[in-house]
Structure 1
Amino acid sequence: VPDLSNFSGKDIDRSLLCGHAGLLCAKLMLSRAAMSARVEQFHDIPPQSRIVSEYLAILDAALESDSDEWLYGRAGYLHGLLLIRHASDTPQSVDDAIDKVVRRMISSGTSYARRCKSHASLMYQWYGGEYLGAAHGLFGILQQLLLARPVLELKWSQKELADFDETVRGSLDYLHNQRIKSSGNYPPCRGHRDDNLVHFCHGAPGAVLTFLSAHRTYSSTATNDHKYLSMAHDAAECVWRYGLLHKGPGLCHGIAGNAYCFLALQRDDPTNNKWIFHAAFMASFMSTLPQDKEWLLRPDHPISLFLFYFWQN
């Protein structure tokens, strides 16, 4: 794990995938693994309390950011906070940070939705585009807000939680209304009807993961209300029909990212074995994929964790 002392700057500190925040999360995972396995070669990893303190030191940069999306913005930083909460002895300061980030994200999204006259309760923009997908847009932001809700239950009043749920569920319903009926896919941006991106970052695969989180949060066996699971199923059928991509086996915009949504469905819908068969088929396809085919595009970073071989494995 590299020395992070010179790796700083508000523009990248909070980025989970490309910045200081992600490296600190990796350090925490290594520390946890080393402690459980008593692996001596990781003796130079700092204690977990110090890693958590370093992560919380980025909080102000995250709150001041003009970005809420997952890859570079507040949603990614929130993802890291939730990871830290799960993987370490959680100090109260982590829950306090989650509270602050969620409030900032809700405030940012409602304010922008009013300014741009969106029909959604929440709307965000990134580099001038009002993205809907998991990496840069509303699906990814809602995913992290849903995952943070158990923490909010400990800190928020019933009125605040009810307002949160109304805002989030209204945004989920808005997204479902953007579904392209002919394919079951989702457009990359508000106001666009492009139907050629079936990726984790843009399109139906990211929708599957967010609707599954909504199902876990809001489904009710008492009223047989499983509409978000049904939405996830519909998006997954699109992934199955169109998800063998020319862009290779990476996670962000490749076959591995599309296969991952089937693994998530199998976890949340274990009575339906077709999801694991879909995932296995895509894994088999990746394992036999000839790399010399002209139609197979080569990623910009072919040995990276997010774009190619490591997620394929």
Structure 2
Amino acid sequence: MAEAASIMFKNTFPDHHGERLLGENKKLVSGAAERIKEVIIRLLKQLESCIGQEEHSKRPDFSVYTGSSGYALLYLHLHKHLTSTSSDSDTDASSNSSRSEGEDYLMQALQHLKEALANPQGRRHTFLCGDAGPLALGAVVYSNMGDERNSAHCISRLEAMHINVIRDQTLPDEHLYGRCGYLTALLFVQHHLGADKVDRELIVKVTRAILDSGRAFGSKTREGPPLMYEWHNKKYLGAAHGLAGIMYTLLLIKEPEVLSEIESAVRPCVDFLLTLQFASGNFPSSIGSSSGDRLVQWCHGAPGWVYMFIAAYKTYNDKRYLEAAERCCEVTWQRGLLKKGYGLCHGAAGNAYAFLALFRLTRNQKHLYRAHKFAEWCCDYGKQQCRVPDRPFALFEGLAGTVYYLTDMLDPLSAKFPAFEF
């Protein structure tokens, strides 16, 4: 635990003692919400003042993960949050002001996308790290602006990528750089614009490619589940690069043509993964990992496993999976305030989404309380002397992701880990 302590802060927050933070309107109670709103405004101003400097000081990065498209996703999120929180009791003046601000956020989202849409990199096909992310975002942003022609054009370009995704035998299957990352882009468009906006046969084809790839590699291993994958010659296990993230993505697919195939293939994999959980509730980052019980972060540790176990519980109605998710959240509460920072991939904001996911499922106020305490930690952005990430303002490494999480905290029942949960 000494090594673990070197990468985390001790959690000194008191645990839940009956506090109720969900108001009658199903949003965060007003007292807590007001402080978070003030911090969002302050951090957003800080972000906007720094983005331009960052873009001029580094080589162009159009990705959602660390680049300009990540800012576009944040502004789309802010737009949707603003329009969804306006109420019938608003005055005409305040409603018009909110609508105008929401439209401004859409325009900012589009501005951050324009270069990415005009200059596809052609190297990767995923939502977070490739061309699929800007295209999926472009489809949604244009549609929200009433420009259905450009929205449809983005979808056509996105769909055309499926041929390489299926045929390229060197392509991995994981979330950041592989087929699941492309599948996420298709699911993102469906989530925002409707299931029929994407050719559903493409989802079936990519899903089958992921299943076939897992079976082929799994057949080469003497022990383990029927599906197995590797990335950079390692059998990774976590949400970003590994088996848990791939199984979770497969469980999101509800196309009738592959549904029974998914459910029969995934369950033994989830059962296998369940056997790897440490007594602490955490998991190894890869099979045979020498780091042991160390990383408590979305990309490689227990916070990212919560989503697979929740999806498995919903699919198979097996309480073992819910209990595993609960154990994941316990270790996240104990060891999830990271010295790496406040970001989504490996920071406090990303870890906190695990609490919100379990709160949405169980309605146990303990999980909302814990998510709020992590939000309080994020509200003191910069005061804890965390390490400065390589891209300090980016969506998945830096400030943009923290603002995204704090915005979600205002409406916890609709909160979803960006570009992962749907």
TM tier, smaller: 0.7 to 0.9
**What is the identity, as a one-letter code, of the residue corresponding to 1:230?**
E
Q: What's the CA shift string for 1:42-98, capped at 9, x where partnerless? A: x6x853222211110110121134210001110011111112223235448621001
Q: What's the CA shift string for 1:168-196, capped at 9, x where partnerless? A: 00000111111112x11000001226111
Q: Which among 257, 267, 274 is matched to residue 169 of structure 1?
A: 267
* Distance change in 2, residues 1:89/1:290 (3 Å): closer
| Matches for 1:1-313 after TM superposition, within 5 Å | 1-3=113-115, 4-9=117-122, 11-12=123-124, 14-35=125-146, 46-65=149-168, 66-91=171-196, 94-148=199-253, 150-151=254-255, 153=256, 155-156=257-258, 161-181=259-279, 183-192=280-289, 194-219=292-317, 225-270=318-363, 272-291=364-383, 293=385, 296-313=386-403
RMSD: 1.8
Native 8 Å contact 1:85 1:94 kept in 2: no
**What is the identity, as a one-letter code, of the residue corresponding to 2:327?**
D
Structure 2 CA distance for aligned equivalents of residues 77 and 143 of structure 1 = 14
Give TM-score scaled by structure 1 length.
0.86
**What is the identity, as a one-letter code, of the residue corresponding to 1:275?**
H
Larger Rg over CA atoms: 2
Give TM-score scaled by structure 2 length.
0.65
* Distance change in 2, residues 1:118/1:95 (3 Å): farther
**What is the identity, as a one-letter code, of the residue corresponding to 1:6?**
N
SS state at 1:307 partner: coil
Bigger CA drift: 239-248 or 87-96? 87-96
SS state at 2:114 partner: coil
SS state at 1:312 partner: helix
Q: CA deviation at 1:204?
A: 0.2
Structure 2 CA distance for aligned equivalents of residues 139 and 200 of structure 1 = 11
Q: What's the CA shift string for 1:199-250, capped at 9, x where partnerless? A: 100010011111111122222xxxxx43221211111111111111100000
Native 8 Å contact 1:263 1:279 kept in 2: yes
Native 8 Å contact 1:48 1:88 kept in 2: no
Aligned to 1:222: none
Unaligned runs of 5+ in 2: 1-112, 404-422
**What is the identity, as a one-letter code, of the residue corresponding to 1:269?**
T
**What is the identity, as a one-letter code, of the residue corresponding to 2:400?**
F
* Distance change in 2, residues 1:93/1:306 (3 Å): closer
Q: What's the CA shift string for 1:226-281, capped at 9, x where partnerless? A: 322121111111111111110000000000010011111111111x1000000000
SS state at 1:99 partner: helix
Structure 1 CA distance for aligned equivalents of residues 361 and 139 of structure 2 = 27
Structure 2 CA distance for aligned equivalents of residues 298 and 179 of structure 1 = 31
Native 8 Å contact 2:174 2:241 kept in 1: yes
Structure 2 CA distance for aligned equivalents of residues 107 and 140 of structure 1 = 17
Which structure is richer in relative contact order (CA contacts within 8 A, separation 6 or more)? 2
Q: CA deviation at 1:129?
A: 1.1
Structure 2 CA distance for aligned equivalents of residues 167 and 84 of structure 1 = 26
Bigger CA drift: 209-218 or 91-100? 91-100
Native 8 Å contact 1:59 1:97 kept in 2: yes
**What is the identity, as a one-letter code, of the residue corresponding to 1:147?**
L
Q: CA deviation at 1:166?
A: 2.3
* Distance change in 2, residues 1:93/1:298 (3 Å): closer
Structure 1 CA distance for aligned equivalents of residues 303 and 192 of structure 2 = 26
Bigger CA drift: 15-24 or 115-124? 115-124
Structure 2 CA distance for aligned equivalents of residues 218 and 31 of structure 1 = 38
Aligned to 1:40: none
* Distance change in 2, residues 1:228/1:292 (3 Å): closer
* Distance change in 2, residues 1:286/1:93 (3 Å): closer
Structure 2 CA distance for aligned equivalents of residues 163 and 145 of structure 1 = 10
Q: Detail structure 1 runs of 4+ shifted over 3 Å in the superposition.
A: 89-93, 289-292
